[in-house]
Each structure stands twice: as C-alpha cells, then as structure tokens.
Structure 1
Amino acid sequence: MMQVISAERQELVEVFTGLRPRQFQRLVQAVHRAGGQALGAVRPGRPWSLPLRDRVLLVATYCRTNLSMRQLAPLFGISVSAVGRIINRHGPLLALAPRKRKPTSNDVLIIDGTLVPTRDRSIAASSKNYRYSTNVQVLVTAETRLVISVGRPLPGNRNDCTAFSDSGIDAACGKATVIADGGYQGTGLLIPHRRQAGQTRLPEWKERHNAAHRRVRARVEHVLARMKNWKILRDCRLKGDGVFWAASCVAHMHNLALGG
C-alpha cells in the first residue's frame, strides 16, 4: 500500500497538523522523551509499521482532521488495525505534560469549561448543546494564553462550579489569582459582580470592574475557539480516557502553535 502522507514531506505537516515543521519537530522530541520509540507493551517483539515521526504525524492528523481510522489507513499506507495501535499507544504521549512549577501568587490564570461531544455515554450526558457531551475544564495563563492544565472530562450536564473541583483542575491553580465567569460561584475564584436582591443595576465602579473582567476573561474564550480548530474536539469518537488525552493533546499542540 502506497504511503501518501509522510513527515518527510514538510509542506504537508502544517496542512494536516496545524503546526509548522519546527513546531512539529518539538512535538516529536517530546514524544521521544516520553518513550515513543519503545515497542508496544502487548506485543513487544512486533516492530512499528511507521517511523516515529510518521507515527506522531498520524496521531496529530487524527486530532486535527478527525478522520476515521479507515480513512487514515490508506493515507499512511498501513492497515486499519495498525492505525488503531498507533493511536492507542502514542496518543497519550502527545498529551500536555504537567507543569513543573506550581503557579504562585504573582500569576494570573483564567479558567473556563467547554463541551466536547462524544459517543461514550458512560462519561457523557445530554447538555445544553442538545448532544451527549463532556465538560472539559481548561486553565490558561492570562498573559501568554498558553494552556497549563486540562481537567478530567465530566458529564456535560455538570455545572462549572462542580466541575472545577471534581475534574481535579483546582490542584493546578496553586496560589495564583484565577479569573472565571459567573458560573463558578462558591469556588473562591475571581468572578464578576452580581446584582443583589432588589438592585436594578450595579454601582458604576462595579460595572467598570466587570468590563475589565470581561476583557481579560475573553482570552480563554479565544483559546477554546482555537483549540476547536482540532476537529477531534467537535465530535470525539474515543472512549474513556481517550477524551481526556485528546483534549490534552490538542492543548499541547495549541501551545506549540502559539509559542512559535
């Protein structure tokens, strides 16, 4: 079977991954450090069908285009089962690595949740987008718009204030000031001022604070919109932990694309 897409053809890398060749090479190096060269644990004596660069390209293409495994197989010149093995083995290796330095009181972070439609109803629920989705919490830095953590997916009918703690993303906040929208009441995060009972409007100084709050918080909305350019977050066919590593892979690639 002839291979159509290869990492050797650098003009195709950005088309199928959203990363420039230099950024893609950094992704390959990260996978190599995580053990991407090792053979599969189930059949350790069986060699991979593709070199490491092409295996990383396959997983990145899968996240970017959301093509099915049957569609990817002829593009990479391998069998459907080989595509499945590569995605299952290397997908988690592309995921965003935990940050070594905990955020301090000098850091400003922004958090928001996004709905990721998925077919796995064991981790999804019918939500406000009228589809079975998961609630994925994303934490970014206010200054750089880089993603520093992705929470564990929860059913899409969970509200954000519950998902903040249940997804485990609260542990990634450290001592930083964290900005959020009004859905995070009771979490201790910095949320907009709200009218009290009997108030028709907020005092002018609170309106000014809310306007400044919205301008900063919009940055996480921009990040979520850019992450949805990787179409696996528009309709994720993976099950179980696959939804988490898909969102984490996209976060990693978003950071590489944003970092230049």
Structure 2
Amino acid sequence: MLFLLRRNPVQAAAAELFGVSQATVSRRWTALLPVVEKVLAEHVPDPAEASAGRIVLVDGTLVTTWDWASEGTSMFSGKHRDTGFNLLQVAATLDGDLLAVSDPVPGSRHDMRAWRESPFPDAFAEREGIGDLGYIGSGLITPRRKPPSQERSVGDKVANRSVNTLRAAVERAIAHLKDWKIFATRYRGPLTRFPLVTKTVTALAFYKKGW
C-alpha cells in the first residue's frame, strides 16, 4: 500500500514486484488504506494549534486525474488546462514546514472557492497569512495586481517581490508533499476514494516529520 502511494504504479506492476496477483494488491489497498489513515490520524495537528504564533503561507495545487466528472462537477481546471482535483489547499510556515492540507475539490473550482470551502478561514482567522493573486479578497496578504492599461509602480514591484520570496516556502512544502507520487502523477482510482488517499498521505507526511 505504501509503495502504491509513494510511486503510483499500476497495480499490475506492484503485483509483479511483490510476487502476488493484481487482485491481491487491490484487496490489500482497499483494506489497509483506511487502517493506516485511522492509526496515524493522531499525528495530524489541528491547524489552529499548529499555526499559533506563526505566519501562515497558503497555496493550492492540482492533482491530475482521468477525464471524468465527480457528481456532475467538471474536473477540468482552466488554470492548469488539465483534469484533476484542485486539491489541496496547503498551508505551511515561513520555514516550509507543513501545517495543514485541505480536502480536495474538483479542478474546475478556483483557489478562492477552495479556500472558502476549506476549514482554513476559521483556523487561521487570527493569523497573518500570505497567498498568491488567486486569494485576493480572502484577507490574506497577496501580490498587487497590475492596474488596467498601466505598469506596476516601483513600490508595487518591490512589494510583490517580497511577497513572492516568502511564498516560495509553501511551494517547497507542496514539492515535498508530492514526493508521494500519487499526488505528483495522474491518479487512476475512483474519485470517491481520493479524499481518503489525501488524508492518508497527509497523515504519513506529518508522521514522518514527528508530529
């Protein structure tokens, strides 16, 4: 099961590697995924407690899937020009340490909607937060938009460089999360099972860091 999460091979490849049938791989995957998530759930910190006294960096990332719909909702992300979950609203510290991962939403929903549907607005209500242009109006500090038909002022350019320099830490956190290739390469399983995959990988990521 860990191999499937870490490398995201087809089950037939895992079966050949471990010397079992594809059906056995499928049964083990189905049986063990919820067990691992449940056992490691205590290692996942409460976002509000984990972020106490910290500046919170937030960003979203797409996990690609096959081109099918979820409960009638399009999985196609216009921003990324691909199908998938606009997963993960990911929160991290200025040091790039993971703070929280939200539940996935269909790729057709933009970052701002995913942010509003996540527990993050309440969890980080008393925190100073930083996001990209997709979070304008969220209360987070964001880069400044280019005025219509005008160039950005020198002050805006300096401010944007400062914000983007700080935001690099959450991009590192996302990159580490995508060491689990089931997030980095196309997810082939049932879409209804992906929220459990998300919770399990998140729990494993926190467990690895010793939470």
Q: Do they superpose with TM above 0.5?
A: yes
1:107-122 to 2 correspondence within 5 Å?
107-119=54-66, 121-122=68-69
Comparing both chains, which one has the higher relative contact order based on Cα–Cα distances under 8 Å and sequence gaps of 6 or more?
Answer: 2
Deviation at 1:168, TM superposition (A): 3.9
- Alpha carbons of structure 1 residues 92 and 191: separation in structure 2 relative to 1, 3 Å: farther
Residues of 2 paired with 1:174 and 1:76: CA distance?
47
Task: Quote how far apart the aligned CAs of 1:148 are.
Answer: 2.5
The answer to whether structure 1 residue 162 and structure 2 residue 113 are counterparts is: yes
Shift of the 71–92 alpha-carbon distance from structure 1 to 2, 3 Å rule, reads same
Give the SS at the match of 1:90: helix
Task: Give the alignment partner of residue 245 of structure 1, picking from 192, 196, 205.
Answer: 196
Matched to 1:200, the amino acid is E
How many Å separate the matches in 1 of 2:85 and 2:94?
Answer: 27
Aligned to 1:102: 48
Contact 1:111–1:178 (8 Å) recurs in 2 = yes
Q: Secondary structure at the match of 1:102?
A: helix
Is 2:90 the partner of 1:148? no
SS at match of 1:133: strand
C-alpha deviation, 1:237, in angstroms: 1.2
Alignment partner of 1:212: what SS? helix
* CA spacing shift, 1:132–1:139, aligned 2, 3 Å: closer
Mapped contact 2:75–2:108 kept (Cα < 8 A): yes
CA RMSD of aligned residues (A): 2.8
Contact 1:105 1:177 in 2 (8 A): no
Superposed structure 1 runs of 4+ greater than 6 Å apart:
none
Q: 2:137 aligns with which of 179, 186, 190?
A: 186
The CA deviation at 1:191 is 0.9
Question: 1:258 Cα shift?
Answer: 5.6
Normalized against structure 1, the TM-score is what? 0.66
Kept in 2: contact 1:111–1:179 (CA 8 A): yes
| Residue 214, structure 1, aligned to residue 142, structure 2 | no
Task: Provide the residue aligned with 2:128 in structure 1.
Answer: 177
Taking the aligned partners of 1:94 and 1:144, their CA distance within structure 2 comes to 28
Q: Report the 3-state secondary structure (helix = DSSP H, G, I; strand = E; otherwise coil) of the residue aligned with 1:236.
A: coil
Contact 1:153 1:167 in 2 (8 A): no
Answer with 169-178 or 145-154: which moved more: 169-178
Residue 178 (structure 2) aligns with: 228
The one of 15, 31, 49 equivalent to 1:73 is 15
Report Cα offsets for 1:14-51 as digits up to 9, x if no partner.
xxxxxxxxxxxxxxxxxxxxxxxxxxxxxxxxxxxxxx
CA distance in 2, matches of 1:100, 1:254: 14
**1:112–1:75 CA distance, 2 compared to 1 (3 A):** same
Q: Residues 100, 186 of structure 1: CA spacing in aligned structure 2 closer, same or farther, 3 A cutoff?
A: closer
Aligned residues: 201
- In structure 2, what is the equivalent of residue 25 of structure 1? none
Q: What secondary structure, in the 3-state scheme, does the structure 2 residue paired with 1:115 have? A: strand
- Displacement, 1:190? 1.4
Among 135, 140, 151, which residue is 2:86 paired with?
A: 135
In the superposition, the TM-score normalised over structure 2's length comes to 0.79
CA distance in 2 between partners of 1:101 and 1:157 (Å): 26
Structure 1: gaps spanning 5 or more residues: 1-58
Tell me, yes or no, if the aligned pair for 2:89 and 2:114 is still in contact at 8 Å. no
Q: What amino acid is aligned across from residue 85 of structure 1 in structure 2?
A: R
8 A contact 1:119–1:239 mirrored in 2:
no
Q: Which amino acid aligns with 2:142?
A: I
Percentage of identical aligned residues: 28
Residue 113 of structure 1: how far off its partner (Å) = 1.0
Paired AA for residue 170 in structure 2: V
